[in-house]
Amino acid sequence: MTIKEIFTTMEYGPAPESAAEALAWLVDQGSRFGHFINGEFTAPGADFDSKNPANGEVLASLTQASQADVDAAVQAARKSQGKWAALGGPGRATYLYAIARLLQKHARLFAVLETLDNGKPIRESRDIDIPLAQRHFYYHAGMAQLMEAELPEAEPLGVCGQIIPWNFPLLMLAWKIAPAIAMGNTVVLKPAEYTSLTALLFADICRQAGLPKGVVNIVTGDGAVGEMITAADVDKIAFTGSTSVGRRIREATAGSGKALTLELGGKSPYIVFDDADIDSAIEGLVDAIWFNQGQVCCAGSRLLVQEGVSDRFHAKLKARMDKLRVGNPLDKCIDVGAVVDPVQLNTIREMVAANRAGTMHQAQVEMPTEGCFFPPTLIEGLTPADPLMQEEIFGPVLVSCTFRTPAEAVELANNTRYGLAATLWTENVNLALDMAPKLAAGVVWVNGTNMFDAAAGFGGVRESGFGREGGWEGLAAYTRPKTKAKPLAKVEAFGGDGAPVDGLDRTAKLYIGGKQARPDGGYSRGIHGKSGALLGHVGLANRKDVRNAVEAAAGAKSWSKTTGHLRAQILYYISENLSARADEFSARIDAMTGRKSGKAEVEAAIQRLFSAAAWADKYDGQVHGVPIRGVALAMKEPVGVIGVLCADESPLLGLVSAMAPAIAMGNRVVLAASEPFPLAATDFYQVLETSDVPAGVVNILTGNHAELAKPLASHLNVDAVWSFSSSDVSAEIEATSAGNLKRTWVNNGTAPDWTQDQTKRFLQEATEVKNIWVPYGE
């Protein structure tokens, strides 16, 4: 075209970013890569190709890690970990800082290589992925610097296995490696097999930074390598990827004692109220679902529009879609690039083809004739019953439906198994700040979307996984308390056939929904003292009692909305009433355990209640310093319904130590009382009944932990299960929890020292951090 013709057509024309430097780097490396183990690249095999999805060209050949490779990597990480941790925070900070600087110096090389390998537009890799990855290392250099001073009780976990996805290859690497090594861990990381190249370039950067050998190890290959890492002698697995693989990892690591964080899929709602800036909300959708071809776990893929503005909104949205530019990802004038691989492209095609509901609009734009491209797509008029409203597509496909009221918007938004992110648009600050806490999501964006920063935690609730990446809250994923637990043997109940100590028969029932209820099965068990005397009977709860207790707990959700002040008052009231009956409880404990520790235990329990009451209105969230004009509010929210298998050895203190912090934070609990010594728990009903604890907030079951563990851990309406039981149930709980990916906190056959006040640790487990991003400005 001549200039004169362009003057008339005013077309954009090609604006390609050169791939020359990145391709030259690949050639310099021999176009073949081994693994990066113990500071060196291993001899490359040629097991599989890494291709450019935009044109199918082979970029390099990569090596599938063998068991021996994984072992060597883990060994290298293990060997270097002690020294790396001993280097101290400030020492580690200098390396993280050097890595950040090197990422910055080679920013364009990383960006172009990422785009070649992944297919994402160069604008995104250049302006988003790479700068955020740098930022993560800068931020965590600071965290390393501050660790000793600010986290004196924390220590590294050890060796971390990290498995990352293909949608943000370098950024996910940064999210995993930066906090891990900052806290003194060493890592074995596996990039996704489609997109390993920037991880290998990063390995080169580690060498340039002089990072001690073995601190970062990178092995390449497919899911089989991921399984090897999961099974290896590591202390932690951090995984980002699909919910189905996350579930398998949960099952595989169950009972191993390995720490686990999972960042999984989503079907994040994108809610538009009728008072929103409609044009801006539409532009936000471009960043929500057409960012990275929609291959984003937190993509705003489920559009919910208030009915009154729906027609206008959808008309404008379609017009906007038709202005998107789809094509060569290396073109600087492209909005939507290539889907990562033909396999993914097929998945998207099949899911869209299978849909019969709603009306589909695909962007009326010029599409490339070759490569893995899918047009920006909108399917409007769906209902929650349609599969595409529930299933993650992981492609540039937006589905939509309408709502009438804010309350209905919340219901629709939360009508999903997932809970990663949510976006809402309104100009009404009251509405925005009312909605944000109600949405089941780890991240909420108000009047914006897909905002990320190292200073704000990212992660989900429900089946979107657990754990946070970024911010102070993210450090919990790579540290543990220095306190050591002791091995715990099964605490056995006393048997006997002695006479009742009390002339009048006392049969304790279960405590469900604020009422004493007979066990569903109709079985009871005698509780004997050390001398064999019958102290009383307790009901044997079964799975139906678990069901009833969880239903009562779920129904008491208004407890989560009460103020910290009110919850503190109730906790103080409980301790007051317990104190009034201290002698009775003390005697009961002594009678059951045959020890003389009852008095001390009751006093400690009263103290625990006081501690929890004290924290109820003080376990504050934070306002993170994210680099926008606005705030990221890190709010601590209750986890929800928590099932607890209480400590056997400390019948009252174990129960109170778990219950008090949990309800202080607004959770509702289903407590399985000490199995051998349950009568302190059953006596406690009366304390609860006289202390204004609303029905359903605390539910107590008695019976066999081994029998109660499974129905609790598999219950899909339970959000977390903790176990301090002396029964061997940790593995089963963790494996069974995979059903809805509930949070678990199990003892793996160890016991804490209950005489030590660990309230803060409990508070951490009893809350999830939700980051609410609120940009502002008039």
Partner 1 sequence: MERQIAERSAQLPQLTEPRNPGMALDLDWVASVQANTSAIERRCATLPGRRSVKKDHQAAWLLKAISLIDLTTLAGDDTEGRVRRLCAKARQPVSPGLLRTLDMEGLTTGAVCVYHDMIPAAVQALADSGIPVAAVSTGFPAGLSPFHLRVAEIEESVRAGAEEIDIVISRRHVLTGNWQALYDEMKTFREACGEAHVKAILATGELGSLRNVARASLVCMMAGADFIKTSTGKESVNATLPVSLVMIRAIRDYFDRTGYRVGYKPAGGISKAKDALVYLSLIKDELGHRWLQPDLFRFGASSLLGDIERQLEHHVTGAYSAGHRHAMA
Residues taking part in catalysis: 263, 297
- Per CB under 8 A, does 431 bind partner 1? no
Minimum distance from residue 363 beta carbon to partner 1 (Å): 13
CA separation for the pair 529, 496 (Å, rounded)? 8
Of the pair 102, 303, the CB lying nearest partner 1 is at 303
Task: Compute the radius of gyration of the chain from its Cα atoms.
Answer: 28
Candidate segments 85-93, 249-257, 279-287, 519-527, binder of partner 1 by CB under 8 A: 279-287
- Per CB under 8 A, does 504 bind partner 1? no
Six-digit token string for 290: 């057409």
* One residue of 21, 40, 49, 127 binding partner 1 per CB under 8 A: 127
- Per CB under 8 A, does 329 bind partner 1? no
Residue 395: partners with Cβ closer than 8 Å, 6 or more residues away: 293, 294, 295, 339, 344, 345, 347, 348, 351, 352, 374, 377
Instruction: Scan residues 258-277 and list those touching partner 1 (CB under 8 A).
Output: 275-277
* One residue of 148, 283, 434, 502 binding partner 1 per CB under 8 A: 283
Minimum distance from residue 136 beta carbon to partner 1 (Å): 21
Candidate segments 29-37, 122-130, 235-243, 389-397, binder of partner 1 by CB under 8 A: 122-130
Are the C-beta atoms of 200 and 217 separated by less than 8 Å? no
Residue 549: partners with Cβ closer than 8 Å, 6 or more residues away: 510, 512, 513, 541, 670, 699, 701
Candidate segments 56-64, 199-207, 281-289, 492-500, binder of partner 1 by CB under 8 A: 281-289
* One residue of 14, 342, 384, 594 binding partner 1 per CB under 8 A: 14
Minimum distance from residue 18 beta carbon to partner 1 (Å): 12
Count the site residues for partner 1 by CB under 8 A: 40
Of the pair 444, 660, the CB lying nearest partner 1 is at 444
DSSP code of residue 493 = P
Task: Specify which residues 537 forms β-bridges with.
Answer: 507, 526
Of the pair 177, 309, the CB lying nearest partner 1 is at 309
* One residue of 83, 105, 323, 404 binding partner 1 per CB under 8 A: 323
Q: What does the per-residue mask of binding to partner 1 show for 516-535, with x meaning CB under 8 A?
A: --------------------
- Per CB under 8 A, does 404 bind partner 1? no
Residue 411: partners with Cβ closer than 8 Å, 6 or more residues away: none
Candidate segments 101-109, 119-127, 524-532, 533-541, binder of partner 1 by CB under 8 A: 119-127
Of the pair 333, 614, the CB lying nearest partner 1 is at 333
Of the pair 285, 570, the CB lying nearest partner 1 is at 285
CA separation for the pair 308, 643 (Å, rounded)? 43
CA separation for the pair 655, 574 (Å, rounded)? 13
Minimum distance from residue 425 beta carbon to partner 1 (Å): 8
What is the CA 161 to chain-centroid distance, rounded?
16
Minimum distance from residue 283 beta carbon to partner 1 (Å): 5
- Per CB under 8 A, does 20 bind partner 1? no
Candidate segments 101-109, 120-128, 362-370, 728-736, binder of partner 1 by CB under 8 A: 120-128
Minimum distance from residue 133 beta carbon to partner 1 (Å): 17
Instruction: Scan residues 669-728 and list those touching partner 1 (CB under 8 A).
Output: none
Of the pair 18, 346, the CB lying nearest partner 1 is at 18
* One residue of 35, 51, 78, 123 binding partner 1 per CB under 8 A: 123
Of the pair 122, 187, the CB lying nearest partner 1 is at 122
Minimum distance from residue 315 beta carbon to partner 1 (Å): 8
Residue 704 exposure: Cα atoms within 13 Å on the Cβ side: 9
- Strand residue runs (E) in 404-551: 421-425, 443-446, 465-466, 479-481, 486-487, 507-508, 510-512, 515-517, 524-528, 534-539
- Per CB under 8 A, does 778 bind partner 1? yes
Minimum distance from residue 571 beta carbon to partner 1 (Å): 41
Span between the terminal Cα atoms of the chain, in Å? 44
- Per CB under 8 A, does 335 bind partner 1? yes
Candidate segments 1-9, 257-265, 297-305, 515-523, binder of partner 1 by CB under 8 A: 1-9
If one counts every other C-beta atom within 10 angstroms of the C-beta of residue 614, the result is 15
* One residue of 212, 396, 448, 654 binding partner 1 per CB under 8 A: 448
Minimum distance from residue 323 beta carbon to partner 1 (Å): 5
Minimum distance from residue 539 beta carbon to partner 1 (Å): 58
- Per CB under 8 A, does 15 bind partner 1? yes
Residue 608: partners with Cβ closer than 8 Å, 6 or more residues away: 653, 656, 657, 660, 757, 759
Minimum distance from residue 201 beta carbon to partner 1 (Å): 23
What is the CA 417 to chain-centroid distance, rounded?
14
Residue 293: partners with Cβ closer than 8 Å, 6 or more residues away: 119, 120, 336, 337, 338, 339, 340, 374, 395, 396
CA separation for the pair 419, 425 (Å, rounded)? 18
- Per CB under 8 A, does 18 bind partner 1? no
CA separation for the pair 492, 399 (Å, rounded)? 56
- Per CB under 8 A, does 587 bind partner 1? no
DSSP SS3 for 658: helix
Minimum distance from residue 277 beta carbon to partner 1 (Å): 4
* One residue of 447, 667, 674, 702 binding partner 1 per CB under 8 A: 447
Candidate segments 75-83, 330-338, 352-360, 743-751, binder of partner 1 by CB under 8 A: 330-338
Candidate segments 224-232, 329-337, 522-530, 551-559, binder of partner 1 by CB under 8 A: 329-337
Q: What does the per-residue mask of binding to partner 1 show for 604-643, with x meaning CB under 8 A?
A: ------------------------xxx-------------
Instruction: Scan residues 409-428 and list those touching partner 1 (CB under 8 A).
Output: 425, 427
CA separation for the pair 625, 295 (Å, rounded)? 28
If one counts every other C-beta atom within 10 angstroms of the C-beta of residue 291, the result is 23
Are the C-beta atoms of 215 and 147 separated by less than 8 Å? no
* One residue of 53, 284, 337, 442 binding partner 1 per CB under 8 A: 284
If one counts every other C-beta atom within 10 angstroms of the C-beta of residue 495, the result is 9
Of the pair 127, 150, the CB lying nearest partner 1 is at 127
Minimum distance from residue 262 beta carbon to partner 1 (Å): 30
Six-digit token string for 36: 């990066």
CA separation for the pair 197, 180 (Å, rounded)? 21
Instruction: Scan residues 566-585 and list those touching partner 1 (CB under 8 A).
Output: none
- Per CB under 8 A, does 497 bind partner 1? no
Of the pair 5, 366, the CB lying nearest partner 1 is at 5
- Residue ranges of alpha helices (H) inside 508-631 are 543-555, 564-580, 582-593, 598-616
- Per CB under 8 A, does 460 bind partner 1? no
Distances (CA, A) of 578 to 452, 537, 603, 610, 660: 47, 22, 9, 11, 13
CA-nearest of 553, 605, 568 to 692 is: 568
Residue 522 φ/ψ, nearest 5 degrees: 75, 20
Are the C-beta atoms of 242 and 226 separated by less than 8 Å? no
- Per CB under 8 A, does 430 bind partner 1? no
Helix axes 679-689, 653-664, angle to 10 degrees: 40
Residues that bind partner 1 (CB under 8 A): 1-7, 10-15, 123, 126-127, 275-281, 283-284, 323, 332-333, 335, 425, 427, 447-448, 628-630, 775-778
